[in-house]
A = this chain, B = another copy of it.
Amino acid sequence: MRQMNISFIGAGRVGDILSRALYSKGYKINIIVSTTETNGRKLAETVNAEWSASYEFSSIDDLIIVAVSDRSLQKVLSEINCSPDTMVVHTAGSFGLEVFENSSISRKGVFYPLQTFSKDRKIGFDGLPFLLEASGEEGYSLMEEIVKKLGSVSYRIDTESRKLYHLAAVFACNFTNYMLTSGKRITDLYHLPFDLLKPLVEETVNKAFEMGPENSQTGPGIRNDINTLNKHRELLSFDPELEKLYNMVTGSIFGYYNNDK
Residues of A within 8 A of B (CB): 70-71, 94, 114-118, 121, 123-124, 127-129, 131, 155, 157, 161, 163-165, 167-187, 190, 192, 194-205, 207-214, 216-222, 225, 227-228, 231-232, 235-236, 241, 244-246, 248-249, 252-253, 255-256, 260
Contact = CB atoms under 8 A, between A and B. Distances in A.
B94 A228 contact: yes
Given A167-B186, A167-B235, A197 B228 contact: no
Q: In the assembly, how many copies of this chain are there?
A: 2
A168 B181 contact: no
Contacts of A255: 241
A209 B195 contact: yes
Contacts of A221: 170, 174, 178
Nearest to A162: B192
B155 A168 contact: no
A132 to B, nearest CB: 12
A241 B228 CA distance: 24
A227 B196 CA distance: 38
B94 A192 contact: no
A253 B178 contact: yes
Nearest to A210: B121
A184 B168 contact: yes
B172 A179 contact: yes
A175 B249 contact: yes
A217 B177 contact: yes
B256 A241 contact: yes
B173 A219 contact: yes
Nearest to A129: B196
Contact of A171 (B94, B179, B198): B179
